Amino acid sequence: MANEVLKIPRIEILVELFKRKRFDLFVIKDGLKHEKQEQALQILTDDITEEFGYGGAAGGAKSWTGCVWEVFMALAYPGTRWFIGREELKRLRESTFQTFLKVCKTYGVAKDKYWTYNGQDHFIQFSNGSRIDLLDLKYVPRDPFYERYGSVEYTGGWIEEGGEVNFGAFDTLKSRVGRQLNEKYGLIGKIFVTLNPKKNWCHTVFWKPFKAKALPEMRKFLQALVQDNPFIDKGYIDKLRSITDKIKKQRLLFGNFDYDDDDNALIEYDAIIDIFTNDFVAEGKKFITADIARFGRDKSVIMVWNGFRVIEIKTLEKQRTTKVADEIEKMRTRHGIPLSSVICDDDGVGGGVVDKLRCQGFVNNSTPLENPLTKEQENYKNLKSQCYYMLALTINDHKLYVKCDNYEIREALSEELEQVKKKEADNDKKLEIMSKDDVKDLLGRSPDYSDTLMMRMYFELKQKANWQIY
């Protein structure tokens, strides 16, 4: 009997141990044990968890854990289908796939004997019929809901670097798992998300409810720091400790999801996220606000308001001002909005739309309006700063709602609102927000959505001023 056991190939022993959830050979090395990795593998193979977020800092062996899970699930359950998705397929091949190769080499999962790689269609085919697809999860405007993956059936899957991936990819793919031989093998459909701290959907879906101890039973989050990895090279930790950027260090070394403690930020992060669920905000008078594309920019943004409820958002890519004006005219007619309740930015190209429509014009650097309560000039550098401060108060008080099912727009707007920050006061002690150029440098794009949102405050100031006149 002993001789027969010795004849069993090592890979078959590893697969059987994996199926029995005996992970010592995967998490112990040179007498050291990666406790967090073992916990992660236990969650990845349980029959309860459907959505699992893992990570929180650099160096936590996230990619290694994901590759071990998918390789051995594919080997253990013939004919199953899995995916590994990342924001860019190129980076997936250059990074995650290289980790896959190292995992296969470490455990003797030899290429050609156990698997082959199709470089044209980007999938890994196992000799037992299982398969792992490599997915490009980049957001494509013509496919905002990731319908390109809407009909594919998977046993389970893994999103790598969730902080880089659009929520729509996660939302679609989690509905595609649990559909390929899961019932035959008794496997729960599971989506695995590895991540570093970032204030996007990962923060909302995993970190925030985890911190509040309010995660539903089917969702789990396990924080893994570089200090939890006993196999990490000490030099790697030293490099993380040498990071001079405070926020980056908080994210990558300490796994701090609440890293942005910038005292200059005007809007609370949780309040920003809540604007998409504040559907209790009352209806009211209707308005249209529009940010018009300038020279060198590629989109104009139009928002339709019902009180402080944004009920429609229209983005026009690379359109002439005449086309933008025509679209605004159609929208205001459809919603029954008078021209006096329509405002477009009046700087540069936007002035052409204002002239054509004969609507209100918003001049960013114009003088702030008088405070109707004190009957004094507001202590702001300009009208734009005044309106952004007022917008911040409105959002922080949960008095604004944005109805939007487009996750790309939601993330863009959220990112822009995070950058609404006060600038150091000048000698006149006038309040001013950070300049658009500075925001563009941080985001790599213009804050078109937040600027369109901000212009709604003009009508509040103007109406209050008019009330004082009468």
**Residue 246 maps to a domain:** no
Least Cα distance to 400 among 315, 446, 460 occurs for 460
The pLDDT tens digits for 143-187 are 888 999 988 999 999 999 998 999 999 999 999 999 999 999 999
Which of 109-113, 317-321, 431-435 reaches the highest mean pLDDT?
109-113
| Residue 241 forms part of a structural domain | no
Q: Say what angle helices 62-76 and 97-106 make with each other, to 10 degrees.
A: 60
Amino acid 220: pLDDT: 97
Q: Is 247 a member of any domain?
A: no
Residue 340: band (very low, low, confident or very high) from pLDDT cuts 50, 70, 90:
very high
Backbone angles phi, psi at 288, to 5 degrees: -130, 130
Domain that holds residue 343: 269-469
pLDDT at 467: 41
CA end-to-end span of the chain: 100
Indicate the pLDDT class of residue 59, thresholds 50, 70 and 90: low
Phi, psi of 269, deg, nearest 5: -60, -45
pLDDT at 5: 55
Judge whether residue 291 has pLDDT over 70. yes
CATH of the domain at 29: 3.40.50.300
Count of domains for the chain = 2
Work out the mean pLDDT of the chain and round it to a whole number.
88
* Co-location of 59 and 178 in the same domain: yes
* Residue 262 located in a structural domain: no
DSSP state of 380: B
Report the distance separating Cα 344 and Cα 327, nearest Å: 13
Q: Which pLDDT does position 3 carry in this prediction?
A: 54
In a domain, residue 389? The reply is: yes
- Non-local (6+) Cβ contacts of 196 within 8 A are 55, 56, 57, 58, 161, 163, 251, 252, 255
Residues 76 and 215 in one domain: yes
Given a cut of 80, whether residue 327 has pLDDT beyond it is yes
Of 233, 256, 279, the domain-final residue: 233
Q: Which two tokens stand for residue 121?
A: 């269609």
Same domain, yes or no: 228 and 273: no
238 found inside a domain: no
What CATH number is given to the structural domain containing 418?
A: 3.30.420.240
* Out of 200-214, 274-288, 437-451, least confident range: 437-451
Give CB contacts under 8 A, 24+ apart, made by 242-251.
250/197, 251/57, 251/196, 251/197, 251/198
- Regarding whether 70 and 12 lie in a shared domain, the answer is yes
Token pair for residue 251? 């994210």
Nearest to 381 by CA among 364, 356, 359: 364
Helix (H) or strand (E) holding 417: helix 407-418
Strand partners for 315: 301
Indicate if 274 and 209 belong to the same structural domain: no
Q: How confident is the model at residue 282, as a pLDDT?
A: 97
- Residue 91 belongs to some domain of the structure: yes
